Amino acid sequence: MTRVLQFAAVLTVVLAPVWGDDQATKVPPKTTVKGTPKVPGFNAKKGAGGAVSPKGGGVRPLPTIPKAPRPQVVRFFRMTPQEREIYIDKMPVPQQNQLRKAAETWESLPPEERDRRLKLFDSLSKLPKDKQDLVDQRLNEFYTLPVPRRVMIRNIYQRLSELPEADRAQWMDRPEFKERFTPIEQQIVKDLVTYYPNPQIQ
């Protein structure tokens, strides 16, 4: 029963509503006069800011970075709708509705977005176990932070995910980055963009 509850909980986290869908817009990286990569949409003097809705709705609350699901969850996603229904029917009744809702949410995503997420999860699963655990640790630390800090971290995490690895390292060595984020926040960003880069969070 405990494993079933954990499975349903992970599905909920992975498919939770995500803040800042408009953040996925690709902006070609530019360089400053000094040659340091400029992160699109990031203003260090204003604390990175949150993503502003193009409809004028202001900064959206509850910023999230989807947690990487366990292998059994990925297998669930890869099932056909018919296979999932057979699987769900074998579960305890209290969890069946949760699983069906998660399946419906997954199927509601565009096919290309489902494929992108599966590739992201697969790339993480290929990392050594200690690196996978590190990603989990950093995500857990991210979710313990106050929402305003999570807004800042999620914004710069996504923007840095768009840059080549060398440019990320150069940007994170800038005084502005170190001044705006605490040491643990810097580590969260550094480890996530290194092992779990996700420039198109949906």
The string of pLDDT tens digits covering residues 68-102 is 778 888 899 999 999 999 999 999 988 899 999 98
pLDDT for 116 equals 87
Write b or e for each residue in 131-168: b if 16 or more Cβ atoms lie within 10 A of its Cβ, otherwise e.
ebebbeebbeebeebeeebbbbbbbbbbbbbbbeeebb
Question: Which among 15, 146, 16, 106 is positioned nearest to 154, based on CA atoms?
Answer: 146
Cα–Cα–Cα angle for 105, 24, 158, rounded to 5 degrees: 105
Examine the pLDDT at 25 and tell me if it is beyond 50. Answer: no
**Mean pLDDT score of the chain:** 77
Q: What is the pLDDT, as a whole number, of residue 149?
A: 95
What does the block give as tokens for 190?
């550094």
Q: In angstroms, rounded to a whole number, what is the distance separating the alpha carbons of residues 67 and 183?
A: 22
pLDDT at 47: 44
- Considering only 9-23, 31-45, 57-71, 167-181, which range has the smallest mean pLDDT? 9-23
Q: What are phi and psi of 59, to 5 degrees?
A: -75, 130
29-43, 75-89, 188-202: the lowest-pLDDT one: 29-43
Domain locations in the chain as residue ranges: 2-195
Both structure tokens of 72: 């059994």
